[in-house]
Amino acid sequence: MRLTLRSKVSAATSEHHISCAMWVDAIRPHVGGLAAASALSGAANLLFRSFPNSRKVVEGVPLYLFFVAMLFQLFVYPHFAWSAWKFTGYDDGWFSQGWGADPMGAAKQHERVWLYAMFGFMMKDMWIFRNDLLFFLHHGIAMAGVLTFFTVPAGLGQFLVGGTVLEMGNLTYNIVLLKGKDSGPNVSPTVKHLAEVLYAIGMGVSNYVGARMFATFAKYDGLKGTYWPWGLGFMWFALIAGRSHVHLSRSWPYFAQRWGGKGKGKGKGKSNVRDNAPATVAEVRVTRSAKSRR
């Protein structure tokens, strides 16, 4: 009995070592691309922080980080996800495919760059937020998650599109922080309200579509019945749950106040919400913690 148990433990340990070795071997060809993407992302930070007033702080984050994030969300992720699908002639089978026999070949060039960009985007801020434990852990786990997708056996296209959809939700969050209800009086009430509407709808749709796409991802051959959906699903839905909490905490009170009439003043239904924000984004007070993030 002892010998059998010892043999099983030894076999499991050997299998674990083999899996780790295969994972390292799969990532090794991508090290150069990951390093280049991290360097280019850091260069984007340096470029945007050189603009006037770009180091002023909104919600504890320097403005230039908003600019770089929105650049990635609007152009980088959608472009490479779309280009990857276009390269296949818009074949629906692309969504369920893995890396295939030649992950470094031309057929997977756009998928590689998408993952490089996601990794580099997160890596560029690790030093800036090195004293923020939650941020550091969040980005560290997310970067590890990106690395695991260099070995995913199926559903690579589905992940790229799902990740892009979630980033579209993040885009609406960046917009609402900059132009929403808490922005300064230089932003018109109409623009503030439109930003809140965009966020309320955009983030809700992003979370819903992201959840549905992962449910489909988990059913692909090569993933169904394995540990992939469980491990990735935990991280994916934990992320969506956190986003949903932030989303509802902001949007629910805002629209409840407007629709419930509590915010109506003398001016025919105009919101009476106090605006304590500074006159311009550039005049946001820089806190001691924010200074350390410059």
Convert 53-65 to b/e letters by CB count within 10 Å (16 or more is b): ebbbbbeebbbbb
| Alpha carbons within 13 A on the beta-carbon side of 285 | 5
pTM score, whole prediction: 0.81
pLDDT at 4: 58
Look-up of token digits 């819903």: 208
Q: What are the pLDDT digits (tens) for 215-246? A: 999 999 999 999 999 988 988 898 899 899 99
- Where are the chain's structural domains? 29-263+279-291
pLDDT above 90 for 23: no
Other beta carbons within 10 Å of 219? 13
Name the pLDDT band for 129 (thresholds 50, 70, 90).
Answer: confident
Is the per-residue pLDDT at 201 higher than 80? Answer: yes
57: phi then psi, degrees, rounded to nearest 5: -115, 135
Sign of CA dihedral 236, 223, 218, 88: positive
Asked whether the predicted pLDDT for residue 144 surpasses 50, the reply is: yes
**pLDDT attached to residue 281:** 36
Lowest-confidence region among 22-26, 116-120, 214-218: 22-26
DSSP β-bridge partners for residue 271: 264
Mean pLDDT of 191-217: 97
Contact 234, 227 (CB under 8 A): no
**Burial status of residue 102 (CB atoms within 10 A of its CB: 0-12, 13-18, 19 or more):** exposed
The long-range contacts involving 122-129, CB below 8 angstroms and separated by at least 24 positions, are 122/146, 123/37, 123/38, 123/41, 123/42, 124/38, 124/41, 124/42, 124/44, 124/45, 124/68, 125/45, 125/65, 128/45, 128/65, 128/293, 129/293
pLDDT confidence band for 288 (50 / 70 / 90): very low
Burial (0-12, 13-18, 19+ Cβ within 10 Å), 193:
middle
pLDDT at residue 10 greater than cutoff 60 = no
